[in-house]
Amino acid sequence: MSDALTNRLGDETSPYLLQHAENPVAWLPWGEEALTYARQQDRPILLSIGYSACHWCHVMAHESFEDAEVAAVMNELFVNIKVDREERPDLDQIYQTAHQMLATRHGGWPLTMFLTPDGTPFFGGTYFPKEARYGLPGFVGLCRQIAEVWRTRRSDVEAQNSELRRALAQNTAPAAGPARLDATPIQAMCATLLGNFDPEWGGFGGAPKFPHPTDLAFLLQRRDDPAAREAALLTLQHMAAGGIYDQLGGGFCRYSVDERWEIPHFEKMLYDNGPLLSLYADAWAVSERADFRRVAEETAAWTLREMTAPSGAFYSSIDADSEGEEGRFYVWDRAEVEHLLTLQESALAGRHWGLDEPPNFENTHWHLKRTGTVAEDEVALLESARRKLFAAREKRIRPGLDDKTLTSWNALMIEGLAHAARVFDRPDWLAAAQGALAYLRQTHWRNGRLLAASRQGRAHLPAYLDDYAYLIAALLELLQAEFHAEDLDFACQLADALLEHFEDREAGGFYFTAHDHETLIHRPKSGHDSAMPAGNGVAALALQRLGHLLGETRYLDAARRTLDAFWPQLELQAASCATLLQALEEFITPPAIVILRGPARALPEWQQQLARRKSVMALALPNGLTSLPPMLARPETPHVNAWVCQGVSCSAPLSDPDELEVALAKT
């Protein structure tokens, strides 16, 4: 690489990196070339991590990275590296953790970190304005100060780096040995969540509020705790009525800036909507509330309409901004609404979506929320108003679409669609989930290993723990919706690759990166849920279920070692570990597995009976299937038979649905 660096982002697959390909900053993608150059030149690295739907990433890009004078300072002082946090969650995890240690506060995006040439961070922050404001230093002055620290105080930087690396090393769960696993952390987690619960608006704590679907699912599954279930249902009710949910087009935004779920941060992420779709299906199964069914149907419709590529794969996200303004695509002027609707429709829309109240978005516009119920004779009128407003909104300049395909995020949506398809008997949703799986298998699965991302059919980057774990879980859901032997075989291949390439064979659990991944300053192994479920929690849960399904002790043993590894953490502080706790719960009480065998035409009725039971795994195996694993190989009969298995024992065949209900009640 010559001394005259140029912007090298033009050949990348990430839409986020391509957004910066015309910057005057000499951006380099993360890679050995950039890191080697930094070492050779003994220059610090300015690392900027963001993603394409991020509002403040756009602000910092417009203020600083598109400015030739700012870029000149950056190019003079640093080797500048730009990273898409969605393609490289390994780097994002490491440097977000480091930022929290250095700044003693949570990070976010854009993440702006200054690194020594070996990749160790010595200063960082998130968004920095071009000129000093908001109590933040101006970016150009900060860059000059950091460069001066690097030049004149190298020994201080190196001493701090040694301490930081030690702290990062201690951030991985150590070997703990076999534990006496019990339900104590489960009870503690429930008490913590209910202690932080907002009884007025639902959710946990104050503003900003995130959906936390793993925590809500944990509470919803407390069948013997009415308070826990009510907390989950109340939260889902308020989210469905709030502006965090798109009242016209379906789908959820990433979070609410207020405690009422009213005004969102407008970006829509695939990874939120897959788990939330599954959660609303379960909430409907528990409560049969019409608004929960509506949200599930509209969210699935949004996914198929706006997030599905011609290939069948799912896109990643929709931007918060359009025409340079956050939320512009979604908010309304009352005069526009009155122009589009009849007088009757306008009156109902005003009453139902809060348009009769003062403007709730920047004191000038309205963002729709549900403020009341609709009488039965008003449903058709409201639907007419919704269709007209949606059609008018579709003519606006749309927010940007991040059209890359991520294995892990696709797996979350595949699982959500497949589960909701079972609950609501929607073969079209199931077909969409199967189409996305077919794309991943064809494009992201090579030589027994997964790739993490693709765009326009070009797949790259070694996959992470989440990619493998989430996809196994998605396959288990697909198998329950419609059994295909090749899906079960694929799940086993993924599980074997997970054990071979990711398991910490000494301490238990799974590293986020594979054993042959590039060497970074830290190798995370976390059990905490973030906006997405913890890879270790999903791995333990999916391996347990697959192990019970097949009688495969290798999978069961690996799941047990994972729970052992994180047991000290669960004992000390179970908060944010809902997925691991779900695996713990199924370790203590293995899930009931129902195997159905009989004529293909008679199986759906039995499947529908079982679809609402979240804690039951049900596989329907039509007559004619051959070469089934021993645990699933049941005799063919002219009518449906059901076997209920739990742990290593199975019931005698049951030929009556009422007998099946009695048997399940005993598990």
Q: What is the 3-state secondary structure (H, E, C) of 380-444?
A: HHHHHHHHHHHHHHHCCCCCCEECCEEHHHHHHHHHHHHHHHHHHCCHHHHHHHHHHHHHHHHHH
- Centre a 10 Å sphere on the Cβ of residue 395 and count the other Cβ atoms it contains: 7
Look at residue 463 and tell me whether its pLDDT is greater than 60.
yes
Task: Return d(Cα 175, Cα 63) in angstroms, integer.
Answer: 47
Cα-flanking dihedrals φ and ψ of residue 123, to 5°? -160, 150
DSSP for 30-98, written as a single string: SSHHHHHHHHHHT--EEEEEE-TT-HHHHHHIIIIIT-HHHHHHHHHH-EEEEEETTT-HHHHHHHHHH
The dihedral over CA atoms of 592, 598, 600, 605, expressed in degrees to the nearest 10, equals -50
User: Domain range holding 87?
Assistant: 15-169
Asked if residue 129 lies in contact with residue 138, where contact means CB atoms within 8 angstroms, the answer is: yes
The pLDDT > 70 percentage for the chain reads 99
Q: What is the pLDDT of residue 547?
A: 97
Q: What is the pLDDT of residue 149?
A: 96
- What sign does the CA torsion over 235, 240, 242, 245 have? positive
Nearest alpha carbon to residue 482 among 434, 442, 410, 414: 434
Task: Return d(Cα 239, Cα 183) in angstroms, integer.
Answer: 30
Q: What is the pLDDT of residue 179?
A: 85
Burial of 592 from C-beta contacts in 10 A (0-12 / 13-18 / 19+): buried
The dihedral over CA atoms of 522, 30, 447, 483, expressed in degrees to the nearest 10, equals 80
Q: Which two tokens stand for residue 154?
A: 């190298």
Confidence of residue 373 (pLDDT cuts 50, 70, 90): confident
Instruction: Tell me the per-residue pLDDT of 486-538, one tens digit each, with 9 for 90 and over.
Output: 999 999 999 999 999 999 999 999 999 999 999 999 999 999 999 999 999 99
Q: What is the pLDDT of residue 4?
A: 64
Final residue in a domain of this structure, among 140, 169, 198: 169
Q: What is the pLDDT of residue 3?
A: 54
| Residues 6+ positions from 161 with CB-CB distance below 8 Å | 116, 120, 122
Q: What is the pLDDT of residue 487?
A: 98
Q: Share the mean pLDDT of the chain.
A: 96
Q: What is the pLDDT of residue 328?
A: 97
Reported residue count of the chain is 667
Q: What is the pLDDT of residue 170?
A: 84
Q: Does 8 reside within a domain?
A: no
DSSP summary character for residue 378: G
Look at residue 157 and tell me whether its pLDDT is greater than 90.
yes
- 165-174, 438-447, 530-539, 614-623: which has the minimum mean pLDDT? 165-174
Q: Is the pTM of this model over 0.85?
A: yes
Here the CATH number for the domain that contains residue 49 is: 3.40.30.10
Instruction: Tell me the per-residue pLDDT of 299-324, one tens digit each, with 9 for 90 and over.
Output: 999 999 999 999 999 999 999 999 99
Instruction: Tell me the per-residue pLDDT of 78-89, one tens digit each, with 9 for 90 and over.
Output: 999 999 999 999
| Residues 6+ positions from 197 with CB-CB distance below 8 Å | 203, 204, 231
Q: Do 413 and 391 reside in the same domain of the chain?
A: no
At residue 157, the 3 state secondary structure works out as: helix
Q: Does 448 reside within a domain?
A: yes
Q: Do 437 and 578 reside in the same domain of the chain?
A: yes
Q: Do 479 and 581 reside in the same domain of the chain?
A: yes
Number of domains within the chain: 4
Q: What is the pLDDT of residue 428?
A: 98
Confidence of residue 436 (pLDDT cuts 50, 70, 90): very high
Instruction: Tell me the per-residue pLDDT of 536-567, one tens digit each, with 9 for 90 and over.
Output: 999 999 999 999 999 999 999 999 999 999 99
Q: Do 121 and 20 reside in the same domain of the chain?
A: yes
Alpha helices by DSSP H, listed for 440-529, are 465-481, 485-502
- Across 190-215, average pLDDT: 97
Half-sphere exposure of 579 (CA within 13 A, CB side): 27
Q: Specify which residues 286 forms β-bridges with.
A: none
Asked if residue 243 lies in contact with residue 359, where contact means CB atoms within 8 angstroms, the answer is: no
Q: Do 314 and 390 reside in the same domain of the chain?
A: no
Confidence of residue 468 (pLDDT cuts 50, 70, 90): very high
Q: Do 117 and 105 reside in the same domain of the chain?
A: yes
Q: What is the pLDDT of residue 368?
A: 98
Final residue in a domain of this structure, among 588, 617, 642: 588
Q: Do 521 and 653 reside in the same domain of the chain?
A: no
Here the CATH number for the domain that contains residue 275 is: 1.50.10.10
Look at residue 356 and tell me whether its pLDDT is greater than 90.
yes
Confidence of residue 648 (pLDDT cuts 50, 70, 90): confident
Task: Return d(Cα 126, Cα 136) in angstroms, integer.
Answer: 10
Q: What is the pLDDT of residue 175?
A: 66
Final residue in a domain of this structure, among 341, 367, 395: 395
| Residues 6+ positions from 9 with CB-CB distance below 8 Å | 17, 18, 20, 21, 27, 28, 29, 82
If residue 340 lies in a helix (H) or strand (E), which one and from where to where?
helix 334-340
Q: Quick one: how far is CA 265 from the chain centroid?
A: 16
Look at residue 1 and tell me whether its pLDDT is greater than 60.
no
